[in-house]
Amino acid sequence: MAKSVPVRCPACHREHAYVPPEFPCACGAPVSVAPVHAGAAAAVPVRHRSWAGSWTEVDCGACGRSGQWPQPQFDCPCGVTVRLTQVDEIPTAPRREHDGRPRFEPLTIRTAPDAAAGAAHFLRWLGFPEVRATVPRAAAGVALRGFGVVGLVDPTTLPTGLRPLETLWLHGLAESAVPVAFSLAGYDRAARARADELRLPLFVLDLTGTPQPVNDPAEELLRTGADGRRPPDR
């Protein structure tokens, strides 16, 4: 039987005891799809599911036969699907060039103000000018404001809930601005479902300061930048 390995969720940073699945090889021996093979492994959030990305190639330890097996992954209670992959396969989407924009250089996050500064830096990179953190800090997170955008940064260790996102969306509606949410610990299921209904972009901030999109509106915002987004309809 495969031994459990510690895996930390990249969104909420909870540590899980993960038991790699085993599958029967044609020779009859069990094949363990361990998260570590031929090097170090890392946990990454699954943003889009694809057939190719759901499978991995593993050799049978008994007969050496190579086979395609389901990629190791699990659902974290914070709402993020976590996949175990090789370090050199970790996606770095926000750091590549998009439509002529320069490569994104993140700001390392050590404190709550760092999270707000990193999110504001990211929004400016997307093309929203003059984005700044508002003072004083809002109870549900740190509000960001700029020309045509209003944002929320939740630096707590609990998943962001529904109410802060709906409040953010209402601010965007009232100010004819694009609402964007950032969280260090991810979002609960109700919040993610409502954000999809409202077309509200959700990003998770890792400690390197690199925002990772967790829903389709966030992917769209990352792809098109400020020019491709419209404020909420009244």
Cα–Cα distance between 71 and 34 in angstroms, integer?
9
Residue with tokens 């309809």: 233
Answer yes or no: is pLDDT of 229 > 90: no
Q: Would you say residue 100 has pLDDT above 80?
A: no
- Rounded to the nearest integer, the mean pLDDT of the chain is 79
The one-character DSSP state at 101 is B
Q: How far apart are the first and last CA of the chain?
A: 57
Cβ atoms of 152 and 166 closer than 8 Å? no
Assign 3-state DSSP to the chain and report helix, strand, coil percentages, each to 5: 25, 30, 45
Q: Tell whether pTM > 0.85.
A: no
pLDDT confidence bin for 101, thresholds 50/70/90: confident
The confidence score (pLDDT) of residue 35 equals: 55
Q: How many percent of the chain have pLDDT more than 90?
A: 29
On whether the CB atoms of residues 85 and 70 are closer than 8 A, the answer is: no
Decide: helix, strand or coil at residue 203. strand
Task: For each of the domains in the chain, give its residue range(s) and CATH number, in order of start.
Answer: 5-89 (no CATH), 93-228 (3.40.1350)
Instruction: Express each pLDDT in 57-92 by its tens digit.
Output: 777 777 877 777 787 888 888 888 887 764 444 444
Model confidence over 2-44: pLDDT tens digits?
566 777 787 777 778 777 777 787 777 887 776 543 333 467 7
Query: Which pair of structure tokens corresponds to residue 67?
Result: 């086979």
